[in-house]
Chain A
Amino acid sequence: MTTDPNEGANTLEMMINMGPQHPSTHGVFRMVLHLDGERVVRVEPHIGYLHRGSEKLSEGESYAQVITLFDRLDYVSNFNNELVFCMAAEKLMSIDVPERAQYIRVILCELNRIASHLLYYGTYGLDTGAITPILYSFRERERIQNLFEAVSGARMMHNFIRIGGLKQDVPEDFRERMDRLLPQLRQGIDECDRLLSHSEIFLARTRGIARISAEDAIRWGMTGPALRASGVLEDVRVTEPYQVYDRFDFDIPAGTMGDCWDRYYVPLEEMRQSLRIIQQAMEQMPDGPVMTTMRRIARPPKGEVYVQAENPRGAIGVYLVSDGSEKPYRVKVRPPSFCNLQALPYLMRDAYVADAVVILGSLDIILGEVDR
């Protein structure tokens, strides 16, 4: 006769603190895990360790200075952040941006999307215990950042996109550099894909983990690759095209199961689509000025505007209120990774504690954007 040794024992939930100083929380994010044995009963996310008050700071800075704050929101996709603020200010001032500037913006933003997804690919490999992928992805990312340095003078925090256009035109050897860079990137992305995507160990860690259905993903307010992994074809670049995105032919990659592997693979596929966009933009790019002639100190009329754009992590929105002075009255940001993070307790229910890092990593959060 066998007896259960735990029968009649009064077992309690165990509480485990993960973070804020934990290498797999992608910054300073703290999770309080309540465990029943190996299972996660519930999780309490704690945010705010990286809060810098960017929204409030924006109210004390002129419009040109706010761009530097937006650089530091999602600090791995700086161009995309600069773009969305400039788009909001341009809409408020009803400025038409020259076409060349729009094309250059699109090229730089898509390159930044690839750089950002490469970082996600590398760190997600680390989260699942594979150390090699980050070496491959950073090799490719470095090429993109070298190009950014040649264009804007900075590898990150470019402050290059201005209200009404760009700081300056791209350097003269831009086209040759791009012709060299794009095949390298294409090859690099294929190598990254071959290295990790179909590894049995990686599949065992990610396939079928933390599934979320399309309805639930929408209900939790997810956007970007995390939502598309559930099979929802929603992309601001397609549904509400901004800049010149409506002139390009590209697909929206989507997953089928909405599990961690899909959330990992959709960005990888998106990089290839970004390359397609860049290729077309390079072909179509016209000559001309890159900046509209406007007053040096931007002073939009009274009013309010909401603009959204597709960041690498999802739809970023900026709600900008102007009282007619040279400083914005209110800047509200809808950060995509903050909204994606809301689904974390739902995704973590009944997961194994060993998968906690894998699930958090698959959401691809950037704490600079979550805490602002």
Chain B
Amino acid sequence: MFGNLKGLLMTFKTTLRKPVTAQYPKERLPIEPRRMGFPMLMWDKNVGEPYCTACMVCIRECPTQCMSANMKDNPLQAEGKSARRKIVESFEINIGRCILCGICVDVCNFDAIEMSYETELSTFVRNGRRMDLRELLERGTGWQEQSGWKPKKERQPAKRGPEAEAKVEEPT
């Protein structure tokens, strides 16, 4: 009998607490800065073109093969406005296949792809939730503004301790 009462006292105490549940569609939890949503492409505002050169590294490293891309010669480079010789012509991410692992962001050498805060899948489309270059850049630009993202070069170097120069362990 005593054990039951102890449990009941516990539930009684809880009635006096504030609720912790957020009423989801109306009320949303704060977004953590590191939150990983679907990958989006970044827009280089200084030049006016995407960062992506369609080098295919992310496509090779993706564990679910959810991306595809094509490359073209950069017209802006011919005009002398951009340093990128090649530029992305088309890029497609199958959002339904993406597992949000963030490997594409890790391997990218050009700061071209980042995990956005976008996590909601449902829209009125019939293409199996594929995003093309236009949509990826649009949402990517939105995220850039929302998160205050900067390319790696402009970011402050990360804090490093005394052991920063760890020994290089090359596998044989």
Contact = CB atoms under 8 A, between A and B. Distances in A.
Interface of A: 61-62, 64-65, 68-69, 93-96, 98-100, 132, 136, 139, 142, 146, 149-154, 157, 159, 164, 167, 169, 171, 191, 194-203, 286-289, 292-296, 298-301
Q: Chain B interface residue count: which class?
A: 35 or more
B63 interface: yes
Contacts of B2: 198
A293 B102 CA distance: 20
B34 A171 contact: yes
B103 A64 contact: yes
Contacts, number: 119
Contacts of B169: 93-96, 164, 292-294
Given A64-B61, A153-B102, A287-B162, A194 B32 contact: no
B40 interface: no
Contact of A288 (B9, B106, B164): B164
A301 B169 CA distance: 13
B7 A153 contact: no
Contacts of A99: 163
Contacts of B106: 64, 167
B157 interface: no
B1 A159 contact: no
B99 to A, nearest CB: 6
Contact of B171 (A64, A98, A152, A300): A300
Contacts of A150: 32-34
Interface of B: 1-4, 6-7, 9-11, 14, 20, 29, 32-36, 61, 63, 99-103, 106-107, 115, 158-164, 166-172
Contact of B63 (A65, A142, A146, A293): A65
A68 B99 CA distance: 9
B164 A289 contact: yes
B168 A294 contact: yes
15 contacts: A64-B61, A64-B103, A146-B32, A150-B32, A157-B101, A167-B102, A194-B10, A198-B3, A287-B161, A288-B160, A288-B162, A288-B164, A293-B168, A296-B107, A299-B171
Contacts of B102: 153, 159, 167
Contacts of B162: 287-288
Given A98-B163, A139-B20, A200 B99 contact: no
Contacts of A154: 35-36, 100
Contacts of A191: 10, 14
Contacts of A96: 167, 169
Contacts of B33: 150, 171
A35 to B, nearest CB: 31
B126 to A, nearest CB: 28
A199 B4 contact: yes
A196 B4 CA distance: 8
Nearest to B163: A288
B171 A153 contact: no
A210 to B, nearest CB: 21
A95 to B, nearest CB: 5
B103 to A, nearest CB: 6
B34 A153 contact: yes
Of the candidates B1, B33, B166, the one having the most CB atoms from chain A within 10 angstroms of its own CB is B166
